[in-house]
Structure 1
Amino acid sequence: MSGQPKSGDTLATWTLTKTIDAGGNADVWLAQRGDGQKGAIKILRNLKDETYARFRNEISALQKLGDIDGIIPMLESDFPEGKGARPWYAMPVAQSSRAFFHKADSAAIVKEFVRLGQTLAKLHALHIAHRDIKPENLLGLHGRLCFSDFGLVKYPDLTPITPEKRDVGAKFTMAPEMRREAAGADGLPADVFSFAKTLWIVLTGQSLGFDGPYIAGSNVGLTNFLGKKYTTILDNLLSDCTQHDPLARPAITEVVTRLNEWLEVVADFQLQNAYEWREFAEKFFPLQSPNEATWTGPDAIITVLSEIAKVPGLNHMFFPDGGGMTLKAVRRAAEPDFIDLDTDFAVLLKPAKLTYVSFGFDPNWDYLRLEIEPVNATGHYPVKPGDYVEHLSELLPGQYAHPDVYEYRFDRGRELPVGSRAVVRYLKGAMVFFSTSSPYNQNSATYDARHEKMSEAEFKAYMGRGARESREKASRA
């Protein structure tokens, strides 16, 4: 074909019907064969030497990769000679990645990127780099996501095309070395960089990527888009894959392994809970988790407890007088040196110390123990010598009254200050915090406040025995 293609033109057995995409150097047409089969025909528009050579390489690469699953196959091609002749190749009609992932959740997206990563691993094993991974070059075909558009492909016996100092790839997914000098860059780690940025775009639903390395705590962090979904494994992976230094990035085989790890964790609540509890410890002990650590002072204790309160389902708090609740938040209370624990009700106490205990293997056996500084009752009603709590009305911050003042505020028609609430003020005792899926929390008998009936050392020994028995049982299984 020479001249601009138009509807009704024929290429071999194909008849062009309408354009479906227009790139910088080529157009894609919807076409139909005489037997009724539909296809998409990519026709080179820019006939300059460099683009002409790239199109030839693309056809050559597709011929080499025709039997690899996860690549849009080439059905037919022609590379006519002569001035103005336009090379072309035909492929199946496929879905855009946006249509393919319509309403897909994060797990479904990652599962598909695992398959895509496995395909890329096969290419990399052959030292073939795609070099143009972006959402637009991923298409859905036969129920799976596939690579398309190998116009920038690089493989061992390829004649170099890219001029020095020229960048190559999509701007928002391009690795930094491809921006600096694509001709001399290693395409394999560059693919890993682009793969990770493309995954981020699809997971977040954003139309464009982000500049530089991924930083979980920034406005591009996945938690800003995936809500309460567990993201730590993905956060660490995206950070590693988008490092400026190509040698610091993992191989695509490792990327696939870590994506599968995330899928395994989010599908198993107990496993996820163990990961979250371990990560809580790693925030405070990044080099090595100790067997025991202690914090004193309200601010230090608030800092630690706030970490476990951030993650839904991570913690369960056991009261010294029996029962338990999930800790949702913690902050300073108005009463001097007291802290305010937000559960389904407000809990006020004066902390003496907070101790972290680990037995060095399964984090589900680790726990925190909060010792309460004994304090006097406020005197708004009589409390017995053995009582752990007093129930109060807090009318203003730190200003208490009899519990009936708040409880019967409507019955008595009394208007209270804005922010008034019922509170539980602890007078003594100890609390313990466990991961929600811990064996201790899974045993309903532990609601008997047994931790309060033992000394700190006795409870540690009690939990240590359970942890060792659990490990021995697992080793025999």
Structure 2
Amino acid sequence: MAQFLGQGGMGSVYLAHSPGGRPVAVKVIRPELAKEPRFRRRFAREVSAARAVNGAYTAPVVNADTDCELPWLATVFVPGPSLWQTVRANGPLSHAQTRRLGAGLAEALLDIHAAGIVHRDLKPHNVLMDAAGPRVIDFGIAHVTDLPPLTDPGALLGTPHFMSPEQITGSAPTTASDVFSFGLVLSFAAGERSPFGDGSNAQLLYRIVHTPPDVRSLPDGLRVLVTACLAKRPGQRPTPAELLDALGRRPTGTDRADTDRPDPARPDTGRAGTDRHAPTLWLPQPQHSTVALARNAHALLADGLTDALLLEAAGHDR
């Protein structure tokens, strides 16, 4: 039997199994959305984007059908909770845990961007805390750089708490937009609060565009890095490769006991052990107030998903 995992704006997600017994997460689109040609095209693009990503820190696609009556997408099932659930249940991550989380997310962004994709909705809800490291999921509003947009001009896509200034002002998304969201995700993981404060969505959107972030509550080893990620100008933000290089190092003064604590996200970047702080050359310049998916997807399941499995996951009988 398929197990219901959750529901969102696009449809429901179920835990099911391939004929060979492999656990998969199956997203089944809502019937009313499946009737809309424009939405079907958007969902087909999500599937295409997700298939294109090769990465240890994303959730690989195993099969999909975008043309059937109820379109669906199956990915490798990641048993861990989301970063949002982890922090809400257990409080902020330690300094060492946050750095390891960041290293995994930076590598995920490298793989996503290498596929010509801007995620555009990197947030704690879309980061699953697998024992082997974080997994970035959900390419529902991803932008494929060599294809025209499907959204209407001026449409606001993303989650306000984790959006970049250029997303808010309607500029074309770039990989730097994901870096801004990365900084907000790291800030949430380390301190459970937004550097742009509390309030309504409108207030948050205004502050993200016009006011500097408040990162005083972050540990010293993360403050400079997060501040750089949150630069208003996209060109002043570090690249995912620079982030990975910095976060793969153990900062001076890291508590040994803290490093050895049980960790919900332990990506191995192969760079740990160098006693250096994150470079400070990323410090943003003064800002103006105006703002102009294991590797190779572990291969597709040879046996695929049967019609019976799809119907079961969707809650229907033959």
TM bracket (short chain): 0.5 to 0.7
Hey, which bits of structure 1, 4+ residues long, moved more than 6 A? none
Alignment partners' CA distance in 2, 1:175 and 1:207: 13
Deviations 1:338-396 (A, max 9, x none): xxxxxxxxxxxxxxxxxxxxxxxxxxxxxxxxxxxxxxxxxxxxxxxxxxxxxxxxxxx
For residue 126 of structure 2, what is the aligned residue in structure 1?
A: 137
1:130 and 1:187 in contact (8 A); partners too: no
**Structure 1 residues 17 and 254, CA, compared in 2 at 3 Å: closer, same or farther?**
closer
Counterparts of 1:180-199 in structure 2, within 5 Å, are 180-181=169-170, 184-199=171-186
Residues 200 and 209 in structure 1, CA contact (< 8 A), matched pair in contact too:
no
The corresponding residue for 1:147 is 136
Deviation readout 1:375-432 (Å, 9 max, x if unpaired): xxxxxxxxxxxxxxxxxxxxxxxxxxxxxxxxxxxxxxxxxxxxxxxxxxxxxxxxxx
Q: Which has the larger strand fraction?
A: 1
2:63 is aligned to 76
| Structure with more contact order per residue of length (Cα contacts < 8 Å, sep ≥ 6) | 2
Q: Aligned pair 1:221/2:216, yes or no?
A: yes
On the 8 A contact 1:118/1:253 being kept in 2, the answer is yes
**Amino acid of the structure 2 residue aligned with 1:245:** R
Match of 1:234 in 2: 222
1:56 equivalent to 2:44? Answer yes
Query: Does 1:86 find its partner at 2:74?
Result: no
- TM-score calculated relative to the size of structure 2: 0.67
Answer whether contact 1:57 1:158 (CA < 8 A) is retained. Answer: no
Change (3 A) 1:152 1:234: same
CA–CA distance in 2 between the matches of 1:197 and 1:110?
A: 14
1:233: Cα distance to partner? 4.0
Distance in structure 1 (CA, Å) of the matches to 2:23 and 2:175: 34
Describe the shift of the 1:266–1:151 C-alpha distance in structure 2 as closer, same or farther (beyond 3 A).
farther
2:3 is equivalent to residue 17 of structure 1: yes
Equivalent residue in structure 1 for 2:168, among 161, 171, 179? 179
1:253 paired with 2:247, answer no
Gaps of 5+ in 2: 198-203, 257-273, 281-318
Q: Does 1:97 align with 2:82?
A: yes
Rounded Cα–Cα distance in structure 1 between residues aligned with 2:223 and 2:172: 26
RMSD, aligned α-carbons: 3.0
- Aligned equivalents of 2:232 and 2:193: distance in 1? 22
Q: What stretches of structure 1 of length at least 5 have no aligned partner?
A: 1-14, 224-230, 280-477
User: Which residue of structure 1 aligns with residue 16 of structure 2?
Assistant: 31
Counterpart of 2:106 in structure 1: which amino acid? Answer: G
1:240 shift after superposition: 1.9
Please give the alpha-carbon distance, in whole angstroms, between the structure 1 residues aligned to 2:195 and 2:217.
15
Task: Give deviations 1:47-70, integer Å, cap 9, x for gaps.
Answer: 3344322211111112222x4211
Q: How many residues align?
A: 243
Residues in 2 aligned to 1:37 and 1:121: alpha-carbon distance in whole angstroms = 27
- Aligned equivalents of 2:15 and 2:113: distance in 1? 31
Label 1:40 to 1:207 Cα distance change in 2 as closer, same or farther (>3 A).
farther
CA contact (8 A) 2:161 2:194 kept: no
Q: Tell me, what secondary structure is at the counterpart of 2:99?
A: helix
Q: 1:35 to 1:122 in 2, by over 3 A?
A: closer
Amino acid at match of 1:143: A
Is the CA contact 1:22–1:28 (under 8 Å) kept in the aligned structure 2?
Answer: yes
With over 3 angstroms needed to count, the CA separation of the structure-2 counterparts of 1:55 and 1:199, relative to structure 1, is same
- 1:340 match: none
Matched with 1:156 is 145
**C-alpha contact 1:178 1:185 (8 A) present in aligned 2:** yes
Amino acid at match of 2:229: C
Residues 1:50 and 1:209: Cα distance change in structure 2 (over 3 Å): farther
**CA deviation profile, 1:269-288 (whole Å, cap 9, x unmatched):** 9x98x98xxx9xxxxxxxxx
| 1:291-336 alpha-carbon deviations (Å, 9 max, x no partner) | xxxxxxxxxxxxxxxxxxxxxxxxxxxxxxxxxxxxxxxxxxxxxx
Query: Which structure has the larger Rg over C-alpha atoms?
Result: 1
Contact 1:114 / 1:259 at 8 angstroms: preserved in 2? yes
Distance 1:264 1:117 in 2: 17
